[in-house]
Amino acid sequence: MSMHMPMPTFTVRDVPVYGDTILSPMAAYSDVPFRAICRRFGAAMHYTEFVPTEALLGDPNPLWRRLDVHPAGEHPMVFQIFGSDAQQILRAAQRIENWGADIIDINMGCSVPKVSEKGAGVGMMRQPKLVAETFRLLSKHLRVPVTGKLRLGWDETSQNYLEIAKIMVDNGAALVALHGRFRSQKYRGQADWDAIAKLKQALNVPVLGNGDVRTVADIDRLKAHTGCDGVMIGRA
């Protein structure tokens, strides 16, 4: 008697994801206990809190705890890191890829000034060459898939998410997540779901939509509006 395995909702290169609700990376929230609760209630893929690359290249320190994984295992598990130097990002990623990561994600969406104004987080979106070099190096030297999360751009005068996302994919990114706001908006205003739809149409890898998902009905509306492969939920 044959057993029928369920089909994944989408795959991140060779990593299957069985579901379309994705727990967003959230500093000070996305720790092991919180992720366990979210998985129990249906989260299909988890991101860790983001960790600066400098913290991963030194001696053990409290920030390493952000990459702890539940003893029973968490799959698929996405480790999110950020930085502004491609070689440093590579060294950090190589160090942590055996710590339980199924996927390594580059944060290109953090709008906090102490991150973005130093060229990391959404600050990377102002440096297309850095984006290309980072994803090229990671895709070449890591065994696990590499992904990225970004915003629409730095501000309304520099909307470049399509350009940056294509650079990411051309250099090996296996998935792109888009928060439909500019850095200048932070979390104000309305998320641009039309932009998520345009991104989905433009790329040949899975796209996650993020922004203004507060109810179960919002999950269905975002998927119907954009055609995105999964819905990333953070500040619900």
Residues catalogued as catalytic: 110
φ/ψ of 117, rounded to 5, equals -75, -5
The number of beta carbons lying within 10 Å of the beta carbon of residue 103 is 23
Q: Which of 121, 122, 188, 114 is nearest to 152 (CA)?
A: 122
N-terminal to C-terminal alpha carbon distance within the chain: 43
CA dist., res. 34 & res. 158, Å (int): 35
31-42 exposure pattern, b = at least 16 Cβ within 10 A, e = fewer: ebeebeebbeee
φ/ψ of 57, rounded to 5, equals -95, -10
CA dist., res. 234 & res. 61, Å (int): 26
User: Would you say how long the chain is, in residues?
Assistant: 236
CA dist., res. 12 & res. 146, Å (int): 9
Residue type, 88: Q
Strand 45-47 with 21-23, pairing? parallel
Strand 15-17 with 10-12, pairing? antiparallel
